[in-house]
């Protein structure tokens, strides 16, 4: 093959590749069969750790994992934790000597990296961690506050996290531990803020004694320059200060709202300057706690989640805030930075996709218009990338989204305040709550044959509208049950009077007796339980988190439960497990509408699993998915190979699956050809297309050594020219491989034997 021909193939293939994947795919697309983060940026990291020697390097712990910035918070990148790690990272500690060593406390133990987060080692002990503190002089020594039942315990390691031992002598248990700090000048002295007061150890945690502060200590800070000075905030007296290692305390709360703080940070270079995070914003003292003034005039959100100070440039302060009504999202919430001691603040959320995406909806007419129910609000993007804008629900808990099948401009959203409707693709919204009696709404479904008929699941029952949501009435016998929520509704596409509802009690430890799946065949007038064969918990109740109907055979259903996927082939009359290769609690399900044997399941803390055989077997498809707690899944309505996932604390992700291409046969159209002539090749195999590239491995008449030609041809049939002067004799192709991406040459060669004789 000539050089000019190879160049032409490359140019053509790039055009074909763009056509295959569609124009406008996210600009940061990671490639086929790889998940790509698409935002929205924002969210609420609950712990920040700044590298002491390289303070532009910052780690943020979120509900979905860990994010890292190397430019002072301007840009962030998600780090991949080990697949066995539970998603919630509670605390972080950086080795002050070896900056690449970071410890992450999670619900399943302490994970460790020695290369700045590229790789992580798994803990040898499993325990839930809420706080971490690292010895500044002996960084292989750490303390962890661990939750055990109704109480916490303190564990210690002296070997960099390989082994841990309890160090509780003298602590008043049961107790919760809100803070752990180590004396930077005398690391054998440690303080623990607990529900039973402030405790102190002077022998490296072996023994503890109660200081003169016996109250519930919720925030704690130690002066790095004068380590006998401490600040503590308790829920009874507020913020107090000690200058003798906790022996005596004086009030230090003048000017603080409600007298106390949830977070305290001392300026490492000026011990008179202290920052306090409160439910009313950031406050600051420059006179060692005598008076406090507000330092968050530019922050619209006021509830402080966490604070951190740059150790080398202490005028640089980072704060995570959320709105005072207790909801979180983008907009005014998230991470902010000040470089002048709190006088001005700038949002620093680029790439920090720490949002929790409850629901995703895709415009059927324009699949690059995507809506996401994100924490406190509804957001929308239209550019196929990562740019999102608010879609008008900044103050509501949006739980589900439904786009009308026949008109993509009409969208319904359920929220804590009921049902809302937009007729202009989310530009404006109107409440549609007549007859709902102020009930919170959790899910909605539209009759596929009559788009004016809708059903909504609320806290206490199912309601029905026959006029596009203008008016609602109770839909039958599911009304009147106590303390439950209808969290899922699915309508049979072939028989829309048949509807399935999922009842789940999200608030009580002892679930309602009516938990599980229900079915109506008369449009909601009457309902019956359909739980036979579904797994039950220790109280004897069924728990279903997701429900889907086979779009081509409505007698086949799939239920996502706390014990995996269960399948029914008789309309819910009975269920059986469909879990081979799948474990864990299923939080989301979706089915390929064109190929119902293709099913996707979102698993809590395990990511996304895929079945190609209607649930008989499952395989994880998590490459690139940095957050494994998946709570929503949606297939692109125009391209079923494209899947979107909403995660908890990691934003939304997109993936395009490229079918595996396998070669089963290669044939020449002749057995010999003259030099200067041409020949044709036909290649057979499943999933091969005109866009498939083929590499060949061959041996020439002059050599017994195999050689390889990359991108030998594109498409299953092609004509090849034989250059004049080529070696005459038998040329043998010994292997061929197929790939959909021109530059992807990673697959194994399929052995073949195809001979072609070149004659003079």
Q: Has residue 187 got a pLDDT over 50? A: yes
Q: Has residue 464 got a pLDDT over 80? A: yes
Contact 26, 39 (CB under 8 A): no
Joined together, the tokens standing for residue 72 give: 């002072």
Tell whether 124 is covered by a domain: no
Please state, as a whole number, how many other Cβ atoms lie within 10 Å of the Cβ of residue 80.
Answer: 19
Q: Has residue 19 got a pLDDT over 50? A: no
Torsion of CA 415, 417, 421, 422, to 10 degrees: -80
pLDDT of residue 203: 96
- Specify the pTM: 0.78
Task: Give the whole-angstrom CA distance, residue 754 versus residue 231.
Answer: 80
pLDDT of residue 328: 40
Mean confidence (pLDDT) of the chain: 87
Tell whether 722 is covered by a domain: yes
pLDDT of residue 152: 83
Q: Quick one: residue 178, left, alpha or beta (phi over 0 = left, psi -120 to 50 = alpha)?
A: alpha
Tell whether 11 is covered by a domain: yes
Q: Has residue 29 got a pLDDT over 50? A: yes
Tell whether 174 is covered by a domain: no
Q: Has residue 208 got a pLDDT over 90? A: yes
Q: Assign 14 a pLDDT band (cuts: 50, 70, 90).
A: very low
pLDDT of residue 749: 80
Q: Quick one: residue 94, left, alpha or beta (phi over 0 = left, psi -120 to 50 = alpha)?
A: beta
Task: Give the whole-angstrom CA distance, residue 228 versus residue 216.
Answer: 21
pLDDT of residue 384: 65
Tell whether 404 is covered by a domain: no
Q: What is the DSSP string of 603-648?
A: ETTTEEEEESSTTS--EE--TT-----EEEEEE-SS-TTEEEEEES
Task: Give the whole-angstrom CA distance, residue 614 versus residue 578.
Answer: 9
Q: Assign 149 a pLDDT band (cuts: 50, 70, 90).
A: low
Q: Assign 331 a pLDDT band (cuts: 50, 70, 90).
A: low
Q: What confidence tens digit (pLDDT) does each residue in 658-689 have?
A: 766 778 888 999 999 999 999 999 998 887 88
pLDDT of residue 28: 43
**Among all chains, which residue has been given the structure tokens 């082994």?**
163
**Tally of domains within the chain:** 1
pLDDT of residue 68: 96
Cα distances (Å, whole numbers) of residue 25 to 20, 303, 311, 384, 686: 11, 37, 41, 5, 26
Mean pLDDT of 40-44: 86
Q: Assign 513 a pLDDT band (cuts: 50, 70, 90).
A: low
Looking at the DSSP bridge assignments, the partners of residue 278 are 281
Task: Give the whole-angstrom CA distance, residue 506 versus residue 515.
Answer: 10
**Which SS3 state, helix, strand or coil, does residue 322 take?**
strand
At residue 656's C-alpha, the angle toward residues 654 and 658, to 5°, is: 160
Tell whether 578 is covered by a domain: no
CATH number at residue 744: 2.60.40.1930
Q: Assign 87 a pLDDT band (cuts: 50, 70, 90).
A: low
Q: Assign 199 a pLDDT band (cuts: 50, 70, 90).
A: very high
Tell whether 696 is covered by a domain: yes
Q: Assign 147 a pLDDT band (cuts: 50, 70, 90).
A: confident
Tell whether 753 is covered by a domain: yes
- Lowest mean pLDDT, pick from 499-513, 579-593, 682-696: 499-513
Q: What confidence tens digit (pLDDT) does each residue in 251-308 have?
A: 999 999 888 899 999 999 998 999 999 999 999 999 999 999 999 888 888 899 999 9
- Lowest mean pLDDT, pick from 11-20, 405-414, 447-456: 11-20
Q: Assign 395 a pLDDT band (cuts: 50, 70, 90).
A: low
Q: Has residue 150 got a pLDDT over 70? A: no
pLDDT of residue 10: 24
Task: Give the whole-angstrom CA distance, residue 391 versus residue 369.
Answer: 12
- Lowest mean pLDDT, pick from 80-84, 465-469, 630-634, 750-754: 80-84
Q: Quick one: residue 661, left, alpha or beta (phi over 0 = left, psi -120 to 50 = alpha)?
A: beta
Structural domain range at position 712 = 3-21+660-759
């Amino acid at each position: 093959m000539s050089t000019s021909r190879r160049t032409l193939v490359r140019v053509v293939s790039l055009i074909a590749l763009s056509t295959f994947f569609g124009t406008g795919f996210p600009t940061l697309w990671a490639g086929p069969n790889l998940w790509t983060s698409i935002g929205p940026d924002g969210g609420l990291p609950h712990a920040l750790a700044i590298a002491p020697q390289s303070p532009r390097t910052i780690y943020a712990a979120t509900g979905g994992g860990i994010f890292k910035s190397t430019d002072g918070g301007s840009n962030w990148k998600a780090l991949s934790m080990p697949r066995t790690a539970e998603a919630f990272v509670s605390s972080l500690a950086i080795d002050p000597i070896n900056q690449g060593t970071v410890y992450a406390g999670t619900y399943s133990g302490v994970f460790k990296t020695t290369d700045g987060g590229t790789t992580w080692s798994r803990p040898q002990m499993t325990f839930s961690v809420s706080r971490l503190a690292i010895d500044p002089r002996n960084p292989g020594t750490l303390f962890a506050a661990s939750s055990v039942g109704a109480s916490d315990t303190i564990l210690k390691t002296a070997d960099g996290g390989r082994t841990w031992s309890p160090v509780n002598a003298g602590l008043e248990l049961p107790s919760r531990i809100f803070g752990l700090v180590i004396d930077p000048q005398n690391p054998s002295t440690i303080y623990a803020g607990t529900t039973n007061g402030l405790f102190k150890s002077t022998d490296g945690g072996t023994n503890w004694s109660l200081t003169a502060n016996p109250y519930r200590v919720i925030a704690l800070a130690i002066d790095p320059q004068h380590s006998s000075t401490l600040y503590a905030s308790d829920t009874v007296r507020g913020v107090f200060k000690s200058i003798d290692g906790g022996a005596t305390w004086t009030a230090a709360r003048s000017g603080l709202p409600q007298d106390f703080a949830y977070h305290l940070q001392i300026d490492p270079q000026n011990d008179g300057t202290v920052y306090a995070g409160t439910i009313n914003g950031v406050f600051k003292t420059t006179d060692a706690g005598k008076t406090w003034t507000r330092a968050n005039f530019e922050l619209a959100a006021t509830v402080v989640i966490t604070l951190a100070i740059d150790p080398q440039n202490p005028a640089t302060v980072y704060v995570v805030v959320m709105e005072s009504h207790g909801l979180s999202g983008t907009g005014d919430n998230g991470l902010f930075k000040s470089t002048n001691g709190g006088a001005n603040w700038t949002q620093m959320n680029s790439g920090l996709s720490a949002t929790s995406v409850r629901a995703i909806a895709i415009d059927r007419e324009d699949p690059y218009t995507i809506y996401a129910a994100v924490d406190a609000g509804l957001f929308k993007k239209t550019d196929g990338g990562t740019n999102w804008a608010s879609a008008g629900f900044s103050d509501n808990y949006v739980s589900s989204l439904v786009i009308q099948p026949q008109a993509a401009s009409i969208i319904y959203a359920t929220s804590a305040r009921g049902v809302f409707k937009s007729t202009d693709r989310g530009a404006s919204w109107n409440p549609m709550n007549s007859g709902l009696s102020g009930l919170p709404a959790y899910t909605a479904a539209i009759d596929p044959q009559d788009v004016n008929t809708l059903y909504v699941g609320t806290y206490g029952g199912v309601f029905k509208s026959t006029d596009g949501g203008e008016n609602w009435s109770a839909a039958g016998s599911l009304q009147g049950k106590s303390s439950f929520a209808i969290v899922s509704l699915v309508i049979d596409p072939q028989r829309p009077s048949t509807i399935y509802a999922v009842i789940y009690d999200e608030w009580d430890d002892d679930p309602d007796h009516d938990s599980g799946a229900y079915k109506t065949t008369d449009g909601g007038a009457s309902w019956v339980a359909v739980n036979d064969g579904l797994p039950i918990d220790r109280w004897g109740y069924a728990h279903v988190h997701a429900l889907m109907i086979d779009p081509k055979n409505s007698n086949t259903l799939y239920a996502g439960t706390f014990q995996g996927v269960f399948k029914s082939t008789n309309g819910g009359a009975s269920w059986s497990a469909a879990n081979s290769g799948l474990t864990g609690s299923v939080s989301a399900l979706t089915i390929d509408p064109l190929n119902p044997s293709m099913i996707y399941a979102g698993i809590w803390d395990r990511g996304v699993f895929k079945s190609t055989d209607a649930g008989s077997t499952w395989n994880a498809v998590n490459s690139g998915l940095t957050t494994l707690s998946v709570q929503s899944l949606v297939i692109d309505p125009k391209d079923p190979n494209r899947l979107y996932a909403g995660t908890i604390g990691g934003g939304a992700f997109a993936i395009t699956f490229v079918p595996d291409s396998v070669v089963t046969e290669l044939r020449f159209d002749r057995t010999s050809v003259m030099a200067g002539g041409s020949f044709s090749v036909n290649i057979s195999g499943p999933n091969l297309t005109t866009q498939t590239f083929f590499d060949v491995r061959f041996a020439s008449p002059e050599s017994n050594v195999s050689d390889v030609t990359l991108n030998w041809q594109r498409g299953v049939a092609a004509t090849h020219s034989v250059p004049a002067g080529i070696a005459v004799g038998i040329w043998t192709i010994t292997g061929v491989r197929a790939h959909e991406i021109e530059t992807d040459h990673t697959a194994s060669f399929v052995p073949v034997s195809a001979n072609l004789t070149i004659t003079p």
